Amino acid sequence: MTLSEQTKSLRTPLPWRQIKDRLAEKSFFLLSLVPILLVIAIIVALWLRTRPILEAKSITDLIFGQTWKPLKGEFGFYPFILGTFWVTTVAMLLAVPPSLLTAMYLAEYARSSTRSIMKPLLDLLAAIPSVVYGVWGLLAIVPWVEGHLKPFLTRWLGFIPLFSSENPTGYSILAGGIVLAVMVIPFIVAVTFEVMRTVPDGYREAALAVGATRWQTIKSAVIPQVLPGMIAGVVLGSSRALGETMAVLMVVGNVPMVPSSIFDPAYPLPALIANNYGEMLSIPLYDAALLGAAFMLLIIVLIFNVLSTLVLNRLTRRSMV
Amino acid sequence: MKKTHFHRRHIEESIVKTLMILSFIILAGSLGYILVTILIKGLPAMNLDMITKTPQGGFYLGKEGGILNAIIGSLYLAGGATLLAILVSLPLALYLGTYLRRTGWANIVRLAMDILWGIPSIVYGAFGFTIMLALGMRASLLAGILVLALLEFPIMTRAIEEVVRMVPRDLEQASYALGSTRLETALKVVTRQMLPGIVTAILLAFGRAIGDAASVLFVAGFSDHIPTSLFQPVASLPLAVFFQLGTPFPEVQARAYASALILTAIVLLISFGSRWLSNRLGRNIIK
């Protein structure tokens, strides 16, 4: 056997393994098209089904129209858009301060033993299904808002329109906001915690070495590095809050009106879809209107997600260098 | 002479620290409050019938029966969806983590995954329903499984890829140095190393699917019977809670709380189970 023959016989098992590798790469590539095609499919399908109503009504009528009477062919989304906006805003106002403080504590103060207790607690909070949050809201938050929070706030702050309402029940924007806040907190904490961990310890040590307190270190060395990431985390959290359906639906009252106070009931877009879709499909344009609501949600969430993901990706990539 | 400097910054420090601890106490308190509320309200209506019987005649008026249909239905739905999602997620995560890494294409795929991950479940439900109508399908177990799989696979892929990234680079390079291909490295080295992480990711996605109501609301239907084929409508726990709450009868509402308790118990069991499993499996890992 010559040398070249020898190498040939050594190489014979190789090609099949190499072919397998190439084949796997090709099929993996096809698989990686799935998420991209799926995003496109969802956008296109919802768009196609929304189009009839966009052809029948002007977009300003839809967005700023105040009356919602599907039977008469009136589809004004304004109360629902505002309802979504109010509930999400209240939730975020309540959720952001404790989330950031908890994330900072986890990332900067907590010892690893403390952390190993705190993290599972947050995971549990994130694992609770939204229907269970809804039941909790119904049993605990709605009566609390009705019996304590509302009388108290109306009494002392009632002169501000935001805190006075005719609504006799506790089913309100505030109740929805509180439940939603508890739901998104673990999420915002997780994202901001990850972001804060990307700051190299050298920065902290430098600040501590010149005599800064822990909080000064966070303020001057950590936060400036990760501010965009923290904002991205909050934006991601609010896009979660925007789309949350069941829990909010159960406590927010579902009255299609333009709210003027946090004690007013509201009717957010996801609740509108969940309550009506699949039922009255025989009414003309109704189905297109509801899918239009879904399309609107999708677009808002898409914009929020893409922007915050780009910011977060830049941050994590930089930290990996 | 020793002099203690007690500056404004120290006061600030203690205020901020107190606020941080307070926030965490509020969080932990909320978790406790939720669990206690569900437990106290759910226990009175809990009995063996709830988990061993399907709804009998007049169940929704307060007569006898249980929610076995919803428990089994939810397990079918989430189980089927998880199996389907694994088929896509595991290879995709391996591809992203070991083949593509940080190439441009990988970032596009990841962006698409992040978008999917953020889409609200009600939108998945609406999308699933339009597709169902277009295909002329009826609300069924199969449709529910498909929609839940859509919901699960971005969650699972992201979680698995996170684990792939944790695999030490040296380990992969050692495998390449021995002449193995990327496929062999991915399947025989990386997968083995990630096993605990994969289990956690799968259970995470399963837990998410079993608790999701908005996506199955239109596509899975609801039924008092345990389905015997993929084409029958199926009940699910979150919807059982929701529908029972919607009735005006206190007995049925009490059962809704008991159903919520069952759902919570299942989800917590999964959460603890995954922690325990990943610790146990973690022993076989090269650190």
The verdict on B165 and B41 lying in the same domain is no
CB of A76 within 8 A of CB of A66? Answer: yes
Provide CB contacts within 8 A for B12, sequence distance 6+: A213, A215, A216
The verdict on B133 and B202 lying in the same domain is yes
A133/B20 Cβ within 8 A: no
Chain pair A-B, CB pairs under 8 angstroms? 247
Angle at B265 between CA B210 and CA B213, to 5 degrees: 25
In a domain, B1, yes or no: no
Q: What is the pLDDT of residues B111-162, one digit of tens each?
A: 899 899 999 999 999 999 888 888 888 888 999 999 999 999 999 998 898 8
Identity (one letter) of the amino acid at A194? Answer: E
In a domain, B69, yes or no: yes
Interface test with A, best of B34, B108, B182, B264 (most A CBs within 10 A): B34
The verdict on B173 and B270 lying in the same domain is yes
The verdict on B113 and B182 lying in the same domain is yes
The verdict on B98 and B197 lying in the same domain is yes
In a domain, B2, yes or no: no
- For chain B, give me the number of helices (H) and strands (E)? 11, 0
In a domain, B249, yes or no: yes
Contacts of A310 in chain B (CB under 8 A): 111
Contacts of A274 in chain B (CB under 8 A): 122, 125, 214, 217
Judged by phi (left if over 0) then psi (alpha if -120 to 50, else beta), residue B65 lies in: left
ipTM of this model? Answer: 0.89
The verdict on B23 and B150 lying in the same domain is no
Eight-state DSSP code of residue B138 = P
Each residue's pLDDT expressed in tens, for chain A with a length of 321 residues:
555 555 555 555 567 888 888 888 888 889 889 999 999 999 999 999 899 888 888 888 888 888 888 878 788 889 999 999 999 999 999 999 999 999 999 998 888 888 888 888 888 898 999 999 999 999 999 999 988 888 888 888 878 877 877 778 889 999 999 999 999 999 999 999 988 988 888 889 999 999 888 889 998 888 888 888 899 999 999 999 998 988 999 999 888 888 888 888 999 999 999 888 766 567 778 888 888 999 999 999 999 999 988 888 777 665 443
* Torsions phi, psi for A69 (to 5 deg): -135, 85
The verdict on B135 and B27 lying in the same domain is no
To the nearest 10°, report the CA torsion of A99, A186, A88, A100.
10
Of A139, A297, A310, the CB nearest to B37: A139
Q: What is the pLDDT of residues B191-239, one digit of tens each?
A: 888 888 888 899 989 999 999 988 888 888 888 888 888 888 888 999 9
| Closest-CA distance of chain B to residue A72, Å | 23
pLDDT at A321: 35
Domain A59-320 CATH class label: mainly alpha
The verdict on B214 and B278 lying in the same domain is yes
The verdict on B18 and B129 lying in the same domain is no
Distance CA B205, CA B15 (A): 39
The verdict on B37 and B121 lying in the same domain is no
The verdict on B122 and B260 lying in the same domain is yes
CB of A288 within 8 A of CB of A271? Answer: no
Judged by phi (left if over 0) then psi (alpha if -120 to 50, else beta), residue B212 lies in: beta
CB burial readout B188-221, b (16+ within 10 A) else e: ebbbebbbbbbbbbbbbbbbbbbbbbbbbbbbbb
In a domain, B134, yes or no: yes
Interface test with A, best of B87, B119, B147 (most A CBs within 10 A): B119
Task: Report chain B's mean pLDDT, rounded to a whole number.
Answer: 86
Which residue do the tokens 């969806």 mark? Answer: B81
Q: Which domain holds residue B95?
A: 50-284
What average pLDDT does range B63-81 have in this prediction? 89
Q: Which residue has the higher pLDDT, B55 or A292?
A: A292
In a domain, B237, yes or no: yes
The verdict on B16 and B87 lying in the same domain is no
Q: pTM, whole model, 2 decimals?
A: 0.89
Q: What are the C-alpha distances in Å from A15 to residues A28, A99, B111, B162, B184? A: 19, 55, 35, 32, 14
In a domain, B200, yes or no: yes
In a domain, B38, yes or no: yes
Domain count of chain B?
2
Give me the residues of B, 30-59, that contact A with CB < 8 A: 30-31, 33-34, 37-38, 41
How many C-beta atoms surround the C-beta of residue A170 within 10 A? 23
Closest residue in A to B10 (Cα) is A213
Provide CB contacts within 8 A for B146, sequence distance 6+: B81, B84, B128, B219
